[in-house]
Copies of this chain bind each other. A is one copy, B any other.
Amino acid sequence: MASGRPASVGIVAMEVYFPACCVKQEELEEHDGASKGKYTIGLGQDCLAFCTDLEDVISMSLTVVQSLLEKYCIAPERIGRLEVGSETVIDKSKAIKTCLMQLFEECGNGDIEGVDSTNACYGGTAALQNSLNWIESTAWDGRFALVVAADSAVYAEGAARPTGGAGAVAMLIGPDAPLVMERSFSATHMAHVYDFYKPDLASEYPVVDGKLSQTCYLQALDLCYRRYCAKFEKRQGKPFMLSEADYVVFHAPYNKLVQKSYARLVYNDFVRNPSFVEEDVSAKLQPFATLSPADSLVNRDLEKVAQQVAKKQYDSKVVPSTLLPKELGNMYCASLYAGLATLLHTKTEALHGKRVLMFSYGSGLASSLFSFQVHQGQPPFSVSEIVQKMSISEKLNTRIIVDPKAFVTTMHLMEMRYGAKDFVPVSSHSTLRPGTFYLTEVDALYRRRYSRKISTTKPEIISSNGTNGVQFN
């Protein structure tokens, strides 16, 4: 092992998975008797992905990890760390990570550090930071780390339900990465607050104070941004302003909050120094220059004006990362990284040499603002290869649009399944894409067994590692 730290540590490969089933927000708002545009314009969402009783956070994690290993031809022995960020609790003690160890059994690799990181939608970011740190530490043994961010976000019937979603992102972490994390600028804000939490242990649904949570999110963004700017200036010897960031990806509970968030950063730049924003922007924000930070967070006029003046930048810097979060809904821990995957998918080669700013927020609360520099990478670990392998368009195009009634029926079924034992899933296998892991049984002792739908795309790889047709316990 080298005594120095490895260079350019970051994300070297990615894979995205989401269930094929989705409901259209336009149809859902009509079904729910909500006013037209409430979900599509008010929330800014297009579709909502969801799991039937064949899938859960474990099966999605199995699918996305196995798919990444296969697509990039990574032998399982080459993984030295694997950790999961999730808030979808199927078991309060046994980590999702331990279930993923089934994928490494055949090759005999049990020497894989890392467990699950937990705090609402922030767990994936904690896992990512931990993995980056491991590679830069003296504990590193030269192998890759693998980070999984996965969640199934479901809400009780009512106003919050359309903000659900489901998905999983796997990220391979190593040196010489195409997405190099700028470690020393990373800024964090943590606090104690009850904005969204899951204290009703028998229910999958959270307790949510939506208004408080939005304020907490924007306040955390303010604080992280100030700290990021301070760290940047200290290291770079020049002030940070939004012009230094080419793209900004936000944790996306719903798209409308992402729109507000970018506007909030513009307002932050203006307050820090009016010369940090364009003259016409500065002029329009002037009436709000003397608001206290607390007042500025609840001022509706400011919110509107800031979004107006930020619109052009929002379109160029933020919209390229919004497709998956708008099409799938909130994937909790996976949301931010599905946004990053979307950005790669949308901009690909144009990203070379650019800085991507990322804002992670988990209620409770934990938040970080950090950035990547996009590099060339080492084949097969380049942005264009990642984009090709993620095949986001193909995955979106093969979705099954479910009508709202069937969606509600599935939600009822899932309520009965949550925390249940001794059952066999009843949903149709036709909703599973080839290569997808699915639940086959939960026995009388709550032990879960999974299988994998035969892949038609890469049979040679599947059969060689024995995962096809083998039952996973």
- Asked whether B133 lies within 8 Å of A200 as measured between CB atoms, the reply is no
Check if A334 is an interface residue, CB within 8 A of chain B.
no
Which residue of B is nearest A125, CB measured?
B115
| Complex contact B114–A116 (CB within 8 A) | no
Interface stretch (choices A66-74, A135-143, A267-275, A294-302): A135-143
Cβ contact within 8 Å between B5 and A138: yes
Q: A160-181 CB contact bits vs B (8 Å, 1 = yes)? A: 0000000000000000000000
Asked if A215 lies at the interface with its beta carbon under 8 angstroms from chain B, I say no
Q: Is A207 at the interface (CB under 8 A from chain B)?
A: yes
Interface presence of A132 (CB below 8 A): yes
- Contact partners of A115 in chain B: CB under 8 A: 117-119, 122-123, 126, 362, 366
Contacting residues, chain B, for A116 (C-beta < 8 A): 117-119
A473 at the binding interface (Cβ < 8 Å): yes
Measured CB to CB, the closest approach of chain B to A69, in angstroms, equals 16
Contacting residues, chain B, for A189 (C-beta < 8 A): 110-111
Whether A87 lies near B97 (C-beta < 8 A) is no
- Pairwise interchain contact B95-A119, C-beta atoms closer than 8 A: yes
Instruction: Report the minimal beta-carbon distance from A131 to chain B, rounded to whole angstroms.
Output: 9
Contact (Cβ within 8 A) A101 B192:
yes
Is B91 a contact of A198 with CB atoms below 8 Å?
yes
Of B98, B139, B188, the contact of A129 (CB 8 Å cutoff): B139
Alpha-carbon separation in the docked complex, A119 to B196 (Å): 23
By a beta-carbon cutoff of 8 Å, the part of chain A in contact with chain B is 1, 4-5, 87, 89-95, 97-102, 105, 110-120, 122-123, 126, 129-130, 132-134, 136-139, 183-184, 186-194, 196-202, 206-207, 223, 227, 362-366, 368, 418-419, 421, 445-447, 473
Write 28 A-B pairs (CB below 8 A) sorted by A numbering: A1-B184, A5-B5, A89-B89, A89-B201, A92-B92, A92-B199, A92-B201, A93-B120, A93-B206, A93-B364, A94-B194, A94-B363, A95-B364, A98-B191, A101-B190, A102-B192, A105-B192, A110-B190, A111-B189, A111-B227, A112-B188, A113-B126, A115-B122, A115-B362, A138-B183, A139-B183, A201-B201, A201-B419
